[in-house]
Chains A and B, each alone.
Chain A
Amino acid sequence: MSNLKTSLRMLCNNQDILGGIIITKDGMLIEAYAVENPMAEMLGALMSNVALVIKTSLHDLGHQDFHRYVIQSNKGRIYLVDLGKAVLIALTDLNVEAGKVNMALFQAANEIKKSGRIEV
C-alpha cells in the first residue's frame, strides 16, 4: 500500500488539494491521505454511489469508463477520477485553479496505475 500512499502524498503536496482517497468501485476504502476516518469512509461510500450512477448510465450509452467528475458545492470541490476498478477522489477549496488540479490528478492517476497495486 505504500506506493499508493506515496502517490496520494505527492498529490496532496499540491497546495490546492486538501486531501485524497482511493476507493474500490463498491466504496471500500483502499488508501487515504489527509482525510481522517470516519470522514474517509463516509466520503468513499457516498462517492462510490456517484461513480456507480455514472458507470451504469455510461454503460447504457455504450461507454465503459469516465475520465473525471467534479462536484462543486458552495464550500469546495470533490474530484473523482476513474481508475478502472477503483476511483481516486480529491478534495479542494472552491477557488482553485482547475487546470493545475486536473494536471496533478492526471499525474497521480498515472502513478497509481503504474504502481500495479490496483488492477486497471
Chain B
Amino acid sequence: MKKTPGSEGEGFGTPEEYLNAAKSMRNMGEFDLALNVCDKGSAKFPNNSNIYILKAQILITKFKKVQKPDILKTALMALEKAIKLNPRSYLAKILASQIFLKGRAYKRARAVLLDVLKSLPDDEKARALLAEAEKHIEKKPKEEKEKAAPQKASSGKGASAEPGKDDVIVLAADISEADGVKTGEGGQWELDEKLVIDASEDTADDEARMAVFGDKLTMFGRLDGMQGIFIIDATGQPYKVINKKKLDENAIPSLVFNLFKASVAGASRTNFGSFQRGILVAPFGTIIIVNVFYATLALVVDNDANLATIEARIQRYLEEVSG
C-alpha cells in the first residue's frame, strides 16, 4: 500500500513523491486531498517550484468543476510563488497567462507570454495565446487606453503588464480594473466564459507510462561520474529525480525542458528529422537529454564521464521502457 504523507507526521522523502501522490489523488477526483498533499509538500520543500505548479493545476481543474473565480486567484498566487522560485518555468507562465486571459487581464497575459517567447520564440502555444491577448487589447478603444495610461503611472501598479521587462511579476493579489479586469459583486472576477484553460494535466495512461520510465532509472545509478538523473513529463514537470550532487531541482528541469523544445523545433525545421539526443557540455558537467517519447530523460554527468558507456546504458533503457 502506498505511503500517505502526514498521517504518521513523517511524510514523503522527496518532492516527486508528493507530486506523484497529489497527481494520483487529483486523477481520482479527490481535489481537496490532492491540495492537502501539495500544501504538506511545499511546507517540507518550500523551495520546490513544481509543487506550487501542481497545486495551481489542481486548482484549475477544481475551478472547472465548481466555477468559483476565487479558486483561480489562489491558483495564480501559487504560480506566482513558482515563478519566483523558478523564473524559467514554462508551464507556470503558460498557466498564469491563461488565468489572466480567463480573467480578462489581457495586458498581464501579454507580458507573461512575451517573457515566455523571449526564451522560446517559436513556441506555438505561447504564440497562439499571445495572439488571443493582443486581439482583445486591440479591441479596446484608443481613448480608453490613453485614459488608463496616466492612472497606471500614478498608481505605480500594472508595471508588470509592460512588455520587454526582464522579470515577470505576476502579482495575483494586485489585479485591478486598471488591467481591464471586470469585477462583479463582492469584487469577484467576471470571467471570459468562452475561454477554457488547459491545465496540462496528465491522464491515468500518462501516469502509468511515467511509472515505467521512473522505475527503470535505477539502471543509471551506478555509472561512474553520475551527478543526477531526471525524468521529466510532457509538461516539463519532473516525475522522478535521483539527485546525487545537490543539483538545482528547479533550474535543471526547466533547462532540460526548454532546451528539448528548442532542439525539437531546430531539428525538424531544418529538415534534420526528429530529435533523439541533446548533449550539453557545460562548466559544471554534461547534460544528456534523451527523447523518450511522452517524456524526457536527462542525465547529468561529470565532463570526464565515459559517454560511450552511458550511451550503451541509454540504449538498454530505451529498449526496456519500449518493450
Contacts and interface: CB of A to CB of B under 8 A. Distances in A.
Interface residues of A, number: 30
Nearest to A62: B284
B127 to A, nearest CB: 13
Contacts of B87: 60
B266 A60 contact: no
Nearest to A79: B279
A2 to B, nearest CB: 27
Contacts of A63: 282-284
A61 B250 CA distance: 10
A39 B271 CA distance: 10
Contacts of B276: 72-74
B28 to A, nearest CB: 35
Contact of A71 (B119, B122, B272, B281): B272
Interface residues of B, number: 35
Nearest to B263: A71
Interface in A37-90: 39, 42-43, 46-47, 49-50, 52-54, 56-58, 60-61, 63, 65-76, 78
Interface string B75-94: 00000000000011000000
Given A60-B87, A76-B272, A69 B280 contact: yes
B120 interface: yes
A71 B284 contact: no
B275 A73 contact: yes
A26 to B, nearest CB: 11
A65 B255 CA distance: 14
B275 A56 contact: no
Contacts of B217: none
A57 B88 CA distance: 7
B142 interface: no
A103 to B, nearest CB: 14
B88 to A, nearest CB: 6
A57 B254 contact: yes
Contacts of A49: 120-122, 262, 265-266
Given A42-B270, A47-B266, A69 B119 contact: no
A60 B271 CA distance: 32
Contacts of A52: 119, 262
B259 to A, nearest CB: 5
A69 B255 contact: no
B269 interface: yes
A60 B258 CA distance: 13
Interface of A: 39, 42-43, 46-47, 49-50, 52-54, 56-58, 60-61, 63, 65-76, 78, 98
Given A57-B255, A98-B307, 17 more contacts: A46-B270, A49-B121, A50-B263, A53-B259, A54-B259, A57-B259, A61-B251, A61-B252, A65-B283, A66-B282, A67-B281, A68-B281, A69-B280, A71-B278, A73-B273, A73-B275, A75-B273
23 contacts: A42-B270, A43-B270, A46-B262, A46-B266, A46-B270, A49-B121, A49-B122, A53-B119, A53-B258, A56-B88, A57-B88, A58-B282, A61-B248, A66-B280, A66-B282, A67-B281, A69-B278, A69-B280, A71-B272, A71-B277, A72-B279, A73-B274, A74-B276
